[in-house]
Amino acid sequence: MSKIYKVFFSERNINGLLNYLGEQLNIPKTQKAKKIFEEVLTNQMTLIYEKNKEKLRNINPESILPKLNKKALEGTIKQYNSQIKEVVKKPVKEAFDPKAMNAHNDDYGSPIFDSQDNASKIYSATGEIINMANMTLSSDDNNMEGGRQKNSAKEEIENKMSLLRMARDNNDFDIDENDANYGSNYEMQGFSNNRPSNSKNQPQVDEATRKFLGNICHETSQDDNNMSGMSNNMSNNMYGNMSNNMFDNTQFNLQQDDFQQNDYGYGTQELFQNNNFQNNNFQTNTLQTNTNILSYGENTTTNFLLNKKMKKKSNIEEIVIDKKKEIAYKHGLDIEKLMFMKPHEIDKLISKKKKVSTDSSEKSNIITKKEKLLECLKNKKKENKKYNEKLKNEITKIEPMIETRKQEKTEEIVIDTKNKKNTQKLNIKSSEWAEPAYYNNYQVELPNKMNISEFRLIGETDFPILRPAIDNEHNTLCIVQNNSIIPIELDEDDNYKLTEILKLINSALEENEIEIKISCNSTNNIIIEATNSCKFDLDLTKNSFGVYLGFQKKTYKNKTKYISENPHLFLDQSYFMFIKEISTDNPVCKITPEGKVEQLLTKLDNNNIIDTLTIQYRYTNDKKSSFVNFYGEAHSLSFNLISSNIDNQKIKTR
């Protein structure tokens, strides 16, 4: 059982979510009411967890828990809101009573959830069968508009109103990329505020029905308190930063004292504590008629044109609106923005518009002058070209005068250069003289025989560093256990130390509850073993840094413990270069762990004539120590060989 499952389904988390639902929906604090909402909530949580189980496997519970909680709350509240029509028509006890709901199966379809006591059988407000999994994290074409079965006119109207409520919920949260078919928060196509509606499939709704449902959808609770026992905005607890207005403020809320805490947790007191209901009877003459079903506030741009239709404007207001429209059309301004601006703000905006127009005109004049200047220069260039061609024709007519000189006689003389020093630069690349397996011991042929007296390394050298770099071709270590691939990937860096790498790998394995450890023994060999005696495999075939750890094979299978064949390469030590023809016992230079070169030998005592150089790399300055293993990494070096000429040379001079 994963950590996220334990935390998500913990009693503390579920109770916290139920408390939040109780505050938001004003649910009576009875055992039966709590049982109903707890079952609906846990079903929502199970659906969300099962749908995203694989994605949640390697995610930190602290970072994903707030998103999971938010999704579970949204799904539960949507199910609660889908019962608005039923609550209006009959007492809550009847609307949520399992027997009463089973009696309507023929009219409303199958219940969303099936449980032993049928306490959580909740139906959608549209009369359709809605699959809860599709309402939360996946999409189904049968639930999209145009894909459902035909309903009666009454059911179509109820369906439209339910979808409009869904369209208002636009928080842009999505845990699964496959939710895109429903839009933000599963809003249905054709009813989002920012999408064109599909009028072909929308039934006509009379004004009375629209006002009726509009007032119901705008019954809001003024209680914005946080969850019981939790800090403000849920920012200092395990639930993450969930704001008070996480859900749309236009969702349906019952007042805290709407129902008495008796029989089944609801009772038969007045349904709403306001003037719209008296003695459980709906009073149509007191409905508010100025509430718009899509309104988010009286002063929003979205609401302006709708309110204009719903409210009767005075003559002065209409004149002001018409005047603002005229100004907008004349000066090319945003009409909706203009409607909420004061006169002095409009004057300021028009002045700014005129200034921009004037600046544009001045800029146009500058461009015109520039074009004229370029045209003038172009004509001048044409004139110069014609003049140059004319001058060239005149020059070709002049006969050339050739100066003749006598060649001086050269003499051949002999100069004694036997004792003269000669410097020769030599560039050596190991890949040109040896196979990768022999980059630590190979021989180079000189262009000619030399009597070397001095040897000097120059800056154009590139020696391998024994501590390798983690790059995009060597940054992965794959462990296979119980047919599950566990890739461990390191960030690219050329300064890793072995202790740092071992710590990162062990930490990743421990966080994912994988009982495998990696360590280093006294001989610098790497050990990877299971702490629970379970067999596992190593896959070092793709972009693996296993070779840096000393593992020579590509795959290792069906064992509980693996030890690298070679010592690891993350060594902070120097190594030495020997050239046998220059010195038989001492190294000529030292290469530090950072790749710097320190020359140890310059002048030579012997004056042997040589035509080859045998280059060797050893771990210590002892000529009998082991050869350095470069693991196929090439190197290059450059040096000057200072020597005396062997024979006299003949040169020519004038």
pLDDT at 296: 37
Phi, psi angle pair for 309, to nearest 5°: -75, -35
Distance CA 345, CA 535 (A): 76
Distance CA 480, CA 25 (A): 49
Dihedral angle sign, alpha carbons of residues 597, 603, 604, 609? positive
pLDDT at 462: 84
DSSP string, 592-625: -TTS-EEE---B-S---EEEEEEEEEESSSSTTS
pTM: 0.32
Q: Is-contact 526 550, C-beta < 8 A?
A: yes
pLDDT at 419: 53
CA atoms within 13 A of residue 537's CA, in its CB half-sphere: 13
Q: Is-contact 73 17, C-beta < 8 A?
A: yes
The distance between the two most distant Cα atoms of the chain, rounded to a whole number of Å, is 136
- In the three-class reduction of DSSP (H, G, I as helix; E, B as strand; rest coil), residue 414 is classed as strand
For the chain (654 residues), the mean pLDDT of every run of 10, in chain order, is 84 90 83 86 90 82 87 87 54 45 41 38 35 37 40 51 48 38 36 40 44 39 39 39 40 38 37 39 39 39 42 64 81 78 81 70 61 68 70 56 41 46 86 92 91 80 81 91 88 87 91 92 94 92 91 94 91 88 89 87 75 92 89 85 60 35
Helix, strand, coil percentages in the chain from 3-state DSSP, rounded to 5: 40, 15, 45
pLDDT at 373: 65
CA atoms within 13 A of residue 293's CA, in its CB half-sphere: 21
Distance CA 191, CA 201 (A): 11
- Which DSSP state fits 491? P
Distance CA 548, CA 562 (A): 15
Distance CA 296, CA 4 (A): 36
How many other CB atoms are there within 10 angstroms of residue 120's CB atom? 22
Q: Is 339 exposed, middle or buried (CB count within 10 Å of its CB: 0-12, 13-18, 19+)?
A: middle
* CA dihedral angle for residue 320, residue 321, residue 323, residue 325, rounded to 10 degrees: 160
* CA dihedral angle for residue 143, residue 146, residue 151, residue 152, rounded to 10 degrees: 140
Which two structure tokens, joined as six digits, stand for 173?
Answer: 């949260």
How would you list the strands of the sheet with 536-539, edge to edge?
484-489, 476-481, 536-539, 555-559
Phi-psi region of 533 (alpha: psi -120 to 50; beta: other; left: phi over 0): left
pLDDT at 451: 84
